[in-house]
């Protein structure tokens, strides 16, 4: 059975996302198709409520490569935006997996249109086979007035097969925002269910948390999230609860993802909801 990773439509879990894709490709059958359908609800302390939905198709091309195609749409705090997503990964070497992502779309805020573009490219390198991995990434974000290039360095540790830990540090290298933040995530994997928890702390642009604002400066923020995946027949349902504090605003998000295998029934693994900005 391949070991999919968890991804949420809310604040992105990039280290776990790409690491999980690489592991899944290494054990999955070619021509395997999976559909992920996600819905989320957001509540903000001062700016009102909102939500979003996403559909993503994952295709395993071989034991070395795979692609994801998705469409996502959001509405929050007077802003509405929709974009498409393409993710690809390739095992270029026995110890190196390359990956890339393109998100492109547009939205409206206060009657004015804005651009939504995110580009990522990275590499995962095996340091200790099956145990320790290095994740390096460069990403560019252009959302409304915010433009930023960000680099990431992270490590993923698998001390035992049932436990995965990831820690990453992000630094802005160019653009209008001066982001610097740390993220971490812990996953536990059972035979049929799994659970995970994570955090983000530091300075980040609000757009990385799906909050479109008129400022292009990074804000002090901290985020905590927990989630679990449970089987439903041959499908899998993942629930995620997220709490974000950024500047003077607090946002709570609940997301639900339904994983539907499109080929012959296989033992269910954790659902991997469509991802977000980083």
Tens digit of each residue's pLDDT (9 = 90 or more) over 135-157: 999 999 999 888 999 999 999 99
Domain coordinates in residue numbering, the chain: 14-261
Compare 215 and 67 and report the one with higher pLDDT: 67
pLDDT at 227 over 90: yes
Q: What is the pLDDT of residue 25?
A: 44
Interatomic CA distance for residues 79 and 81, integer angstroms:
7
Does residue 20 come out as left (phi exceeding 0), alpha (psi in the -120 to 50 range) or beta? alpha
User: At the topology level of CATH, where does 14-261 sit?
Assistant: Porin (2.40.160)
100: confidence class by pLDDT, cuts 50, 70, 90: very high
pLDDT at 113 over 90: yes
* % of residues, the chain, pLDDT over 90: 62
The answer to whether the CB of 79 falls within 8 A of the CB of 212 is yes
The answer to whether the CB of 127 falls within 8 A of the CB of 102 is no
Question: For residue 193, how many other CB atoms are within 10 A of its CB?
Answer: 14
pLDDT at 269 over 50: no
Q: What is the pLDDT of residue 20?
A: 58
Interatomic CA distance for residues 11 and 211, integer angstroms:
10
Nearest alpha-carbon partner for 206 in 185, 177, 169, 233: 177
Q: What is the pLDDT of residue 208?
A: 81
The segment with the largest mean pLDDT, out of 21-35, 70-84, 197-211, is 70-84
């Amino acid at each position: 059975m391949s070991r999919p990773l968890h991804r949420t439509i809310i604040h992105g879990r990039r280290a776990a996302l790409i690491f999980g894709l690489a592991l899944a490709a290494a054990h999955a059958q070619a021509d395997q198709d999976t559909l992920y359908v996600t819905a989320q609800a957001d509540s903000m302390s001062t700016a009102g409520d909102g939500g979003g939905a996403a559909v993503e198709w994952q295709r395993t091309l071989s034991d070395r490569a795979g692609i994801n195609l998705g469409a996502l749409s959001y509405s929050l705090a007077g802003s509405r935006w929709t974009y498409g997503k393409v993710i690809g990964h390739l095992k270029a070497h026995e110890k190196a997996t390359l990956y890339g992502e393109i998100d492109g779309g547009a939205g409206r805020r206060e009657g004015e249109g804005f651009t939504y573009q995110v580009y990522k490219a990275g590499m995962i390198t095996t340091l200790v086979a099956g145990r320790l991995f290095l994740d390096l990434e460069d990403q560019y974000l252009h959302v409304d007035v915010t433009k930023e290039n960000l680099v990431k360095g992270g490590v993923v540790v698998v001390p035992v097969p049932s436990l995965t830990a990831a820690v990453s540090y992000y630094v802005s290298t160019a653009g209008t925002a001066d982001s610097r933040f740390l993220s971490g995530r812990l996953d536990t994997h059972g035979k049929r269910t799994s659970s995970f928890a994570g955090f983000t702390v530091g300075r980040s642009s609000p757009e990385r948390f799906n909050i479109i604002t008129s400022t292009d400066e990074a804000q002090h923020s901290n985020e905590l999230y927990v989630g679990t995946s449970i089987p439903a027949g041959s499908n899998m349902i993942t629930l995620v609860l997220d709490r974000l504090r950024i500047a003077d605003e607090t946002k709570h998000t609940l997301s639900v993802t339904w994983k539907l295998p499109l080929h012959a029934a296989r033992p269910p693994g954790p659902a991997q909801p469509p991802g977000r900005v980083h």
